[in-house]
């Protein structure tokens, strides 16, 4: 096991901080402590847990500027987006602080006078979370808040690229009065910590946001101890622009979806399918707007698009563009890089490609970069067929002002999250998650609490 993590600023390649890796014996101890703490935390009444969560959220909000700066330094995302993510992260805690008081059971009318049937909900136990670098705050709180709300204890392993935001969130939870063994952070590399989590019978649930191959491995390794699993995995979102769409509005929403975090989000539009009658005017408007985006260091307030996370991220984007161009796609805008391999920073300028076909890698694999591949369709069923032609099923978008088109897309697209005239559907009160190889389970809303509870059924007999 390596001893340290060198947290680097993706905008400069400079070291932000060296973080110690938690030794395997310490991780095992943290698991034991979390399991022990479950005995008391699960008995704290729901109103008290709710009050502690509210206090945690208040502390996070009061540290917005500090957290946003740390997040930008380690992830590269523009400061304005980091501030937005702090608010988004706190909104999950606020939502689940309320839901803590609404974990209802039920009584079921009995089939005989001598029995009563009662159903209760109980926390699953100790939860281990593995969180991603693209949303280091919100993906942690989206898991921790429902877990703590119902009475589970929680250990998080943040992405090795971005541990600093999470470490601060955990220390704020302790300052808010949540006991140290109830929420813990361990640092290290996924391939070392993942097996410690999955092998331990004390960990009753694994929750993960990240790639589909890693999600599959975690699920496989969780089978031996029959853990609960929630998996929020990769996506390949289609965005359909129908002939009757408001083009100006659709262009705005494409920008919001595609360039958030430099295209490094699981739900961002990965393929844009435009009705052939409006394709020319749509692409002209799109390019004029893309040309206004500022690329630069996220600490600069005027930056719209920051760097991509690392060399591997850059290489994947570059190879998808090269593959598409090699197979006949045309570059309408961009295809420009600003990088220094020695220093270790990679900026990919917003790029628009047209004449993109399904045989190209970019139409099949998640890009995680600021690239818009444009393709056209004639009939709605053709658009749906192209859109559904992916093993992923996380998010899809469609733009139309004709309710018949809208209902057709809503009923035929096989994705867990749909945006109808909406490129930014995420919200703490709504269920986020995917179908097919995009994962299992939902986060956010009342659905987001279910994965942290067990159902217990009591049958009382012998009643006179
Ligand atoms: C993600 O990319 O996984 C999260 C995006 C969101 O919550 O909006």
pLDDT digits (tens, 9 = 90+) for 89-127: 999 999 999 999 999 999 999 999 999 999 999 999 999
Q: Please indicate whether residue 208, judged by its CB atom, sits closer than 6 Å to ligand 1.
A: no
pLDDT value, residue 211: 97
- Ligand 1 centroid–CA 280 distance in Å is 31
Selecting among 266, 268, 354, 366, the annotated active-site residue is: 266
Instruction: Please give the full DSSP string across 188-253, using - where no structure is assigned.
Output: S-HHHHHHHHHH-TTEEEEEEES-HHHHHHHHHHHGGGT-EEEEE----EEEEE-TTS-HHHHHHH
Q: Mean pLDDT, to the nearest integer, of 47-67?
A: 98
Average pLDDT over residues 408-432: 98
Mean pLDDT of 349-377: 97
pLDDT digits (tens, 9 = 90+) for 165-194: 999 999 999 999 999 999 999 999 999 999
Q: What is the pLDDT of residues 261-287, one digit of tens each?
A: 999 999 999 999 999 999 999 999 999
Buried b or exposed e, range 126-156, using 16+ CB within 10 angstroms? bbbbbbbbbbbbbbbbbbbbbbbbbbbbbbb
> What confidence category does residue 2 fall into, taking pLDDT thresholds of 50, 70 and 90?
confident
Domain 4-233+438-460 sits in CATH at 3.40.605.10
The catalytic position among 85, 99, 160, 232 is: 232
| Confidence class for position 200, pLDDT limits 50, 70, 90 | very high
The yes-or-no answer on residue 232 being catalytic is: yes
Can you give the pLDDT at residue 204?
A: 98
Query: What CA–CA distance (Å, rounded) separates 413 from 39?
Result: 44
Q: Which of 443, 452, 454 is nearest to 95 (CA)?
A: 443
For the cut 80, the answer to whether the pLDDT of residue 195 exceeds it is: yes
Report the share of the chain in percent with pLDDT over 70. Answer: 100
Indicate whether 12 pLDDT > 90.
yes
Q: Which pLDDT value is given to residue 1? A: 65
Question: Ligand 1: does its nearest atom lie under 6 Å from the Cβ of 267?
Answer: yes
With a pLDDT cut of 90, the percent of the chain lying above it is 99
Look at residue 168 in the predicted model and tell me its pLDDT. 98
Domain boundaries, the chain: 4-233+438-460, 237-426
pLDDT at residue 86 above 80? yes
pLDDT of residue 399: 98
Per the confidence metrics, is the pTM higher than 0.95?
A: yes
Q: What is the pLDDT of residue 282?
A: 98
State the average pLDDT over residues 343-372: 97
User: Is 160's pLDDT higher than 90?
Assistant: yes
Residue to mutate (ligand 1; options 208, 266, 397, 424; most atoms within 8 A of CB): 266
pLDDT at 98: 98
Any catalytic annotation for residue 450?
no
> Which CATH code is given to the segment(s) 237-426?
3.40.309.10
Tell me the best of 215, 267, 416 to mutate to test the pocket of ligand 1, counting ligand atoms within 8 Å of each CB and taking the most. 267
């Amino acid at each position: 096991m390596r001893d340290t993590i060198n947290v680097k600023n993706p905008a400069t390649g400079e070291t932000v901080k060296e973080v110690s890796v938690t030794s395997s014996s310490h991780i095992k101890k943290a698991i034991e402590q979390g399991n022990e703490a479950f005995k008391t935390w699960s008995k704290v009444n729901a109103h008290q847990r709710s009050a502690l969560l509210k206090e945690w959220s208040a502390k996070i909000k009061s540290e917005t500027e500090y957290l946003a700066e740390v997040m930008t330094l380690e992830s590269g995302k523009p400061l304005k987006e980091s501030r937005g993510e702090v608010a988004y992260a706190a909104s999950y805690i606020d939502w689940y602080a309320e839901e803590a008081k609404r974990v209802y059971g039920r009584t079921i009318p009995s089939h005989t006078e001598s029995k009563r049937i009662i159903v209760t909900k109980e926390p699953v136990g100790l939860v281990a979370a593995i969180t991603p670098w693209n949303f280091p705050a919100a993906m942690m709180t989206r898991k921790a808040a429902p877990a703590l709300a119902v009475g589970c204890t929680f250990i998080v392993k943040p992405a090795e690229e971005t541990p600093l935001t999470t470490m601060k969130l955990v220390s704020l939870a302790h300052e808010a009065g949540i006991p140290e063994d109830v929420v813990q952070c361990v640092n290290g590399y996924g391939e070392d910590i993942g097996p410690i989590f999955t092998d331990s019978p004390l960990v009753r649930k694994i929750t993960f946001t990240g790639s589909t191959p890693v999600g599959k491995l975690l699920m496989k390794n969780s089978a031996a101890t029959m853990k609960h699993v929630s998996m929020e995995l990769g996506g390949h979102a289609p965005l359909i622009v129908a002939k009757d769409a408001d083009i100006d509005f659709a262009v705005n929403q494409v920008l919001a979806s595609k360039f958030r975090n430099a295209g490094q989000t699981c739900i961002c539009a990965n393929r844009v399918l435009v009705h052939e009658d409006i394709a020319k005017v749509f692409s002209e408007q799109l390019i004029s707007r893309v040309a206004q985006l500022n690329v630069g260091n996220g600490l600069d307030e005027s930056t719209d698009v920051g760097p991509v996370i690392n060399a591997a991220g850059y290489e994947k984007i570059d190879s998808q563009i090269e593959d598409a161009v090699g197979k006949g796609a045309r570059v309408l805008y961009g295809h420009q890089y600003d990088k220094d391999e020695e220093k270790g920073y990679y900026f990919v300028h917003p790029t628009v490609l047209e004449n993109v076909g399904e045989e190209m890698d970019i139409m099949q694999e998640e890009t995680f970069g600021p690239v818009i591949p444009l393709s056209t369709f004639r009939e709605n069923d053709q658009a749906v067929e192209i859109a559904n032609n992916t093993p992923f099923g996380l998010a899809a978008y469609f733009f139309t002002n004709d309710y018949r088109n809208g209902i057709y897309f809503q009923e035929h697209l096989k994705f867990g999250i749909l945006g109808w005239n909406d490129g930014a559907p995420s919200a703490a009160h709504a269920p986020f998650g995917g179908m097919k190889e995009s994962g299992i389970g939902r986060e956010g809303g009342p659905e987001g609490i279910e994965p942290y509870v067990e159902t217990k059924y009591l049958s009382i007999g012998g009643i006179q």
